[in-house]
Amino acid sequence: MQRTLTVLNVAEKNSIAKQVSAALSNNSATRGNSCSNFNPVFCFPYNLNGTPCEMLFTSVAGHLMELDFPENFKKWHSCSALELYTAPVVKKVPQDKKAIERNLTEQARKCQWLILWLDCDREGENIAFEVIDVCLKANPWLVVKRAKFSALVRRELERSVQNLVLPDENASKAVDARQEIDLRIGASFTRFQTLLLQDKFNWEEHGIQNEKPVLSYGPCQFPTLGLIVQRQWEIRAHVAEPFWYIYAMYRAPEGQSCVLHWQRDRLYDHTIATILYETCVDAPMATVTKVDARQKLRFPPLPLATLSLQKEAITHLRLPGERMMKLAEELYQEGFISYPRTETDVFDPAYDLKALVREHLNDPRWGAHAQCIDSGEMWATPRGGGHDDHAHPPIHPTRWSAPDANQGWHPDKRRLYEFIVRSFLASCSKPAVGFETQVEFAIAAESFRTTGLMVRERNWMEVFPWARWGGNDNLPPFDLNQTFMPTELLLKEGMTQPPSKLSERDLISAMERHGIGTDATTADHIQKQLDRGYALKDAAQLFYPTTLGEALVASYHKMGLSNLWQPTLRATIELNITEVAGGRRAKQEVLEEAVQHFRGDFIAAHERSAVMMEEVGQFFNRRAGGGPGDAAGELPPGDPMGTCASCGLNLMLCKPAEGTPFVACSGAPLCRQRVYLPRATVAADISDQPCNACHNRAVRKVSLRLRRAAIPPGYDADIVVCVLCDQRFKDLCDACGTARPPGQRHNHGPPGGGGRRAPAGARGRGPAGRGGRLRGGTRRGRGQGRERSARGGAGVDGRGGQPNRGQRRRRESDDDEEEHSRGRGRGRTAPRGRGGGQGPGGGAPNCPRHSQPCLVMTSNSAANPGRTFFKCAHPTEAQDCLHFMWEDEWNGQPLGNARGGRSGSRGGEGNRGRGQRDAGRQPPAGRGHAGGRLVNAATGLPLEGGGGTCFKCGQPGHWANACPNR
């Protein structure tokens, strides 16, 4: 008789275990005992390639293990951050997964085989090896197999279980490498920048609530921040340019109308635009040169994957990604939607979609549409987007929720459910049908075009109210060679606008493009920007960096380490570990290479930490008592004399301008290795003698000249010693005491020798306030004087997209004449270059909100040429401060209310709001059309007869390029 095999099956989550068990057992699986409440064991008999089996099917909950440093490296002061590149790492089951581990252990003991049903991706392979590790410890005789499945349907699952393979060790090793790289660089740089900056600056000044914030670094979170900061720099670097275009409009006698779009779009040369415009004005009759009418289809949305759902939810429901995922998780747990973390956007052909549609036949909101799909009248097979993670179907509704049954749901949850249902029904519906007409025209020698669209069958758009198929449905009828007189024919002026701030949708797309994070973690990385105080969202939900976020990114840029925040960072890591997954390179080789690479960056950052202090000081004021003298750059000058045993950087013999020399690590303040010399020291120099006892650290001995009267009998006044290990030196320190520079409370002394090691909390701290306040003040002064470079181009060190730091101070400064005169030359509204003063005679009023002097500007607009106004220069708001007032309307008093008393929005001046982007500015006197005659829009004078009317001043008799009134 054939012996029954007991097989342990493990899935990545309970829902998979449940579904696979149900499919393989024909819904006859029973529940067995499990130590883990959320990971039951399903039991059923099964025939595996002719062998009768007792299947035990259980699950884990994602990763079973975590990678971390051992306890003795976990405390931040237990080691130098540099040691985190060489410290051991351990993989272990965390406390909250112990029950799952126990369950696996118990089940493994009963079984002969182990079949792994983890998700079919790299992380799944890695989790598989975590499960193997636990199970083999419990039962070393287990036969281990891997089931590879591409859909959760019976046929596919049976194919998979009858064709078991081995787990992919290379894929798992690639994840091991990624985990270790992430851990080492994340922990080391987080500790580095937090310990360096945390207690040195007044974070509260710029809205950071935490007095001592943790300044985390991560290979996903920093490139995400980099995207936000980079966009901010692009916006700031933008120089607005004027452009001109011909605008023509036609209103038919029957009331239909259309805009005729110039084929040249826009010209940046005013003279040429004017000449072309004038040729049109001289022969304004328009001729239809082409009419093209055809049917057009608009296809329904693709089935939803995680990131596409996030993007849609943000756009249509205004739900941030992280919030959306929480609600989707709830809906999934309650059985209303399918698994919400998936890359798949194509339904398996075997999926019974009609059955899902039938769930909704009785719904009062979309039931009628569902019935049309079910009857076949509206049905169309959903399109596929070409992505399949082979573990989950696209996100879709699995159960109907009647409108009165979900009253207890949060409104956002109801909206999300409705969106998923409508999106699913839309994806199963026929495409919308429209009729598009494209017409081309000629006015003089210039070409124009317009498009009209009539939607004839809305189909999927009926059930998807968020759909827009914009187009002019009021197009006048046109025939080939038809002629007509345009109702309006104008030369309009516009200004190029900077790119907009990033929306969450933009950010997700950019992260997706650069491979930053996964579909399951993208929202977390974005949320982290907000939680850490690195970025904010404005009223329009657009992201912009906080002062802190920008300061950090600018710091790494200044240190020459932009690769640590640029969006390519993650892709570079991924590229390397993909080599491991593909078996082309060994894990250890790739790992060591990456760790050494980032260690090099870390050392560079460490050595340039003074640059980081300086750069952050451009944005924040120093905190009084914030650990002066601690930055690496504040060590007195010195020469290297060996390698620091603690962190691997250089030990320096430092010679302060006053006081006794001492030995310190160049990695100060993070590395606190320091040796003070005996009080009797008169002079100290590095000798050319190496210390043999410290040979592997290349330490050289120090030659000391001592005051004879201050040393005990028996010692020479001139000695050459190793200050790290020489017993004579330690004895001298004990006998004489050690000399420490002013401000050092504690004497570290030589290691293991006479000097006492200070308590961790007090080590390395100088007297409160020394240097900090002074440095803060002088930096601010320098910042103002030095940063003359103007906004845009000149303000970015000659390279586009680089930081334009200290912009706030630059705007406040009074030395921007170069920028201002250039602005006038371009015909822009420009600051006049005074400001900063107070009172009627002294310049500008203070902005009542920001308590800083307004800029004094001169308007170049056609409506108010040369008129002076004030505007607030505050730049770090979500949108620039809107305080604005004409000078001649100011009574010399401070501006009063939120809009500045009689002041107004500056929307009409200079920097226009987003809503006005690229909107053409109509000149004061353009040309119009009334009663079939071209007229001057401002004066009403007829234009027939040639001769020209200047669009600049509105007077007839000359063209604009020869205007005497300009």
Partner DNA sequence: GCAAGGTC
CB 575 to DNA: min, Å: 13
Residue 949 binds to DNA (criterion: CB under 7 A): no
Identify the residue among 7, 29, 220, 535 touching DNA (CB under 7 A).
220
By beta-carbon proximity to DNA, the closer residue of 189 and 245 is: 189
One character per residue 335-364, x = contact with DNA (rule: CB under 7 A)? ------x-----------------------
Whether 921 and 481 have beta carbons less than 8 Å apart is answered as: no
Q: Which DSSP string do the residues of 855-885 spell out, in sequence order?
A: EEEE---SSSTT-EEEE----SSSS----EE
Query: Could you say whether residue 58 binds DNA (CB under 7 A)?
Result: no
Catalytic residue, from 46, 245, 247, 339: name it. 339
Measured CA to CA, the distance from residue 224 to residue 317 in angstroms comes to 23
Does residue 250 carry a catalytic annotation? no
C-beta closer to DNA: residue 58 or 459? 58
State which residue, 90 or 693, has the beta carbon closest to DNA: 90
- Asked if 672 interacts with DNA (CB under 7 A), we say no
Name which of 90 and 165 has its Cβ closer to DNA.
Answer: 90
Decide: is 186 part of the binding site for DNA (CB under 7 A).
yes
12 in contact with DNA (CB under 7 A) = yes
Stretch in the footprint of DNA (CB under 7 A) among 59-67, 462-470, 671-679, 776-784: 59-67
Q: CA triplet 363, 365, 369: central angle to 5 degrees?
A: 80
Indicate whether 521 belongs to the interface with DNA (CB under 7 A): yes
Stretch of residues binding DNA (CB under 7 A), selected from 179-187, 613-621, 698-706, 768-776 = 179-187
Strands 113-117 and 5-11: parallel
Q: Does 77 bind DNA (CB under 7 A)?
A: yes
Query: How many angstroms from the chain centroid is the CA of residue 306?
Result: 18
Q: Which stretch binds DNA (CB under 7 A): 478-486, 514-522, 827-835, 878-886?
A: 514-522
User: Which single residue is written with the structure tokens 């009628």?
Assistant: 368
Tokens coding 951: 């669009």
208-220: b or e for each residue (b if 16 or more CB lie within 10 Å)? beeeebebbbbbb
396 binds DNA (CB under 7 A): no
Angle, helices 367-375 vs 411-427, to 10°: value is 20
**Nearest CB to DNA, comparing residues 320 and 792:** 320
Joined together, the tokens standing for residue 186 give 């994340």
Nearest to 61 by CA among 23, 21, 17, 91: 17
What string marks each residue from 91 to 120 as x (binds DNA by CB under 7 A) or -?
------x---------------------x-
Minimum Å distance from CB 13 to DNA? 3
Judged by DSSP in three states, 629 sits in coil
Closest by alpha carbon to 540, among 911, 915, 899?
915
The first and second tokens of residue 615, run together, are: 């750069």
Residue from 517, 661, 776, 901 in contact with DNA (CB under 7 A): 517
Looking at the Cβ atoms of 83 and 877, the one nearer to DNA is: 83
Nearer to DNA, 214 or 283 (CB): 214
* One residue of 8, 115, 146, 219 binding DNA per CB under 7 A: 219
Identity (one letter) of the amino acid at 922?
Answer: Q
Q: How far is the CB of 204 from DNA (least distance, A)?
A: 16
Across the beta sheet with 41-48, the strand order is: 30-32, 41-48, 51-59, 5-11, 113-117, 143-146
Q: Dihedral sign, CA of 763, 764, 766, 770? A: negative
125: nearest Cα among 182, 163, 68, 165 = 165
133 binds DNA (CB under 7 A): no
330 belongs to the binding site for DNA (CB under 7 A): no
Count of residues touching DNA (by CB under 7 A):
51
SS3 834: strand
* Nearest residue (CB) to DNA, 61 versus 645: 61
Nearer to DNA, 178 or 808 (CB): 178
Q: Where are the alpha helices (DSSP H) in 366-410?
A: 367-375
How many residues would you count in the chain? 966
Q: Please report whether residue 61 would count as binding DNA according to CB under 7 A.
A: yes
Q: How far, in Å, CA of 810 to CA of 776, rounded?
A: 17
Distance of CA 484 to the CA centre of its chain: 52
Does 719 sit near DNA (CB under 7 A)? no
520 belongs to the binding site for DNA (CB under 7 A): yes
Distance CA 698, CA 726 (A): 15
**Contact by Cβ (8 Å): 811, 788:** no
512 binds DNA (CB under 7 A): no
| CA-based torsion, 248, 252, 255, 257: positive or negative | negative
Residue 231 beta carbon to DNA: minimum distance, rounded to whole angstroms:
19
Distance CA 876, CA 205 (A): 12
Which positions from 221 to 260 touch DNA by CB under 7 A, shown as an x/- string? xx--------------------------------------
Tokens at 21, concatenated: 């068990």
Between CA 790 and CA 798, with CA 795 as vertex, the angle to 5 degrees is 125
Q: Is 542 exposed, middle or buried (0-12, 13-18, 19+ CB in 10 A)?
A: buried
The maximal CA–CA distance of the chain, rounded, in angstroms, is 117
**Of 158, 234, 329, 330, the one binding DNA by CB under 7 A:** 329
422 touching DNA, by CB under 7 A: no
**Residue range at the interface with DNA (CB under 7 A); choices 276-284, 363-371, 521-529, 609-617:** 521-529
Q: Which stretch binds DNA (CB under 7 A): 183-191, 261-269, 549-557, 728-736?
A: 183-191
Per CB under 7 A, which of residues 899..928 are in contact with DNA?
A: none
Q: Which of 459, 518, 576, 936 binds DNA (CB under 7 A)?
A: 518
Q: Is 179 in the site for DNA (CB under 7 A)?
A: yes
Stretch that binds DNA, among 73-81, 662-670, 902-910, 948-956 (CB under 7 A): 73-81
Residues with a catalytic annotation lie at 339
> What are the residues binding DNA (CB under 7 A)?
12-15, 38, 61-63, 66-69, 74-77, 97, 119, 121, 123, 127, 178-179, 182-183, 186-187, 190-191, 194-195, 198, 212, 214, 216-222, 329, 333, 341, 517-518, 520-521, 525, 528, 570
